[in-house]
Structure 1
Amino acid sequence: MEYRGSDFYDNPDHFERYMERRKAEENANDTLEKPVFQELLGCVKGLRILDIGCGDANFGRECLANGCAAYVGLEGSINMVHAGRKTLEGWDGQIVHARMEDWDYPQAEYDLVLSRLAIHYVQDLNSLLQNIYQTLKPNGRLLFSIEHPVITSTLQPSGTRTHWVVDNYFTEGYREQQWMGGIVYKYHRSIETYFIALQKAGFVVEQLRESKPVRAHFLTDETYERRLRIPLFLFYSAKKK
């Protein structure tokens, strides 16, 4: 069966496998993506936060524990919505069941919009960024991570990886990936395309980062050295003018 985005996790087998994978020691999310994201994030105290593609909302609970003024998580998978609401039990946060492409974004509501490893599923990036721009307050920030374009470029129409060889890099569009027993589609676009789309929406891009590994985040030299071979994730931090 084929999936585009959050509906992948509404298959109970995929959802269970994914949640188990996230518990694994030295998983890429916790060793490579999260440290950079937290560094770029900084202090959230007093901020009104929108988290796009919030998943099980564990990061939302951390934001609330660190003093954010409000937290709204947007999630398209109903399985993830249920998990997120359970995660936030006892906390003053909200999980909304809606696809990021379809939600009615309120005007000038949030100080900070976050998205971790979700925007690479979206085809109409320009419309999404325009919605995010208008939902931010003046000087509000957007911070997001995506699967690195050198990774999505290795996903070819056959669905197989080309041994980490970057191929058809400037041919943008959906790429097929066989993952955890299903087929998922990720939208490949270049680093430049993301940058230009942010500028077109009105953002000032403040930082661009890659997931360069830090030895302290790994239990073994073997995993650390393997992660030095290729960047898995890309990060953008941008501000509303």
Structure 2
Amino acid sequence: MSIYKGPTAYNNEDFMNTYLKRRHRKESPNNIIEKPALIKLLGDVRGKEVMDLGCGESAFGLELLESGCESYLGIEGSERMYEKALETLKGTSGNVQHATLESFAYPENTFDIVLSRLVFHYIEDLSPIIENIYGSLKQGGRFIFSVQHPLLTSSVDSNRIEEQRTDRVVDDYFYSGERIEQWMGERVVKYHRTVEDYFKLLKRAGFSIEDIQEPKPNKKYFSDLQEYRRRMRIPLFLLFSCSK
């Protein structure tokens, strides 16, 4: 079985199609827990120049353009996802560039908002990327991102396969670094960081941290009461809102 790092997993067509199917299911936690919290942190995007790091198929970019952002640039490291993003943004003013976050040439003082959704826990060395993001923002610009909650990346039983998991065993929380997780039939490399690790990376780069959220499920988004109760047991996401 292969071990995938970064965006390479999505170059596997079967893996990508499985991911997209899961991602767009009605009660995907990404859609009903992480996304509402991120949208609230973003606020009004009208007239804003936005960069989206690890944009995937750019479905969220299309929503931002429809919400009135001045410009949208998505950065995507997977060639197959990049092609999907081009299709998504066809006929709009949005742009997408094929590059990893490590290799992308970040323009200086360009964006009002830089965002990233559930990408950074796949990256080994975040420090230069966070510094580049700081440099790419205009003065007063905002950086908003989500990651998989550190309680999950430190789960020692992440390879346990269940459709309806109700618990996690957390260990080695303070040992930051590589973890290999069984996900959608493949082995995927993630990088565990504590909440404090993320906080210190941001502070060292010069960011002011405005908000930290561990978004709680909202019952109104759930058609299944049992699913709502299950999601209330374990935090899935961690979000930061920062400013330059």
TM-score (norm. length: structure 1): 0.96
Query: How far, CA to CA, are the matches of 2:156 and 2:74 in structure 1?
Result: 29
Q: Show structure 1 runs of 4+ deviating over 2 A.
A: 158-163
Instruction: Compare 161-170 and 217-226 and name the one that shifted more.
Output: 161-170
> Shift of residue 181 of structure 1?
1.5
Q: Report the equivalent of 1:105.
A: 106
- C-alpha spacing 1:221/1:160, structure 2 compared with 1 (3 Å): closer
Tell me which residue corresponds to 1:37: 38
- Once the 2 structures are TM-superposed, how far is the Cα of residue 165 of structure 1 from its aligned partner? 1.8
- Of 207, 218, 226 in structure 2, the residue corresponding to residue 222 of structure 1 is 226
Q: Choose which of 178, 181, 188 in structure 1 pairs with 2:192.
A: 188
- Gap runs ≥5 in structure 1: none
1:155, distance to aligned residue in structure 2 (A): 4.3
Per-residue deviation at 1:211?
2.1
1:101, distance to aligned residue in structure 2 (A): 1.0
Residue 201 (structure 1) shift: 0.3
In 2, Cα distance between the equivalents of 1:227 and 1:88?
Answer: 33
Mapped pair 1:64 → 2:98 = no
Matched positions, count:
239
Q: 1:223 to 1:160 in 2, by over 3 A?
A: closer
Q: Secondary structure at the match of 1:176?
A: strand
Question: How big is the shift at 1:40?
Answer: 0.6
How far residue 217 of structure 1 moved from its aligned partner, in angstroms, is 1.0
Distance 1:238 1:77 in 2: 27
Structure 1 residue 23: Cα displacement: 2.5
CA distance in 2, matches of 1:123, 1:149: 15
Q: Which letter maps to 2:29?
A: A
- Distance across 1 between alignment mates of 2:236 and 2:44: 25
Q: Indicate if the aligned counterparts of 2:156 and 2:169 stay in contact, CA closer than 8 A.
A: no
Distance in 1 separating the partners of 2:149 and 2:109: 30
- Distance in 1 (CA, whole Å) between partners of 2:72 and 2:156 is 34
TM-score, normalised relative to structure 2: 0.95
Code of the aligned partner of 1:122: I
RMSD: 1.4
The 5 Å alignment of 1:156-171 reads 159-160=159-160, 163-171=167-175
Matches within 5 A, 1:5-84: 5-84=6-85
* Counterparts of 1:21 and 1:82, CA distance in 2: 19
Q: Could you say what secondary structure the match of 1:212 adopts?
A: coil
Give 1:220 shift.
Answer: 1.2
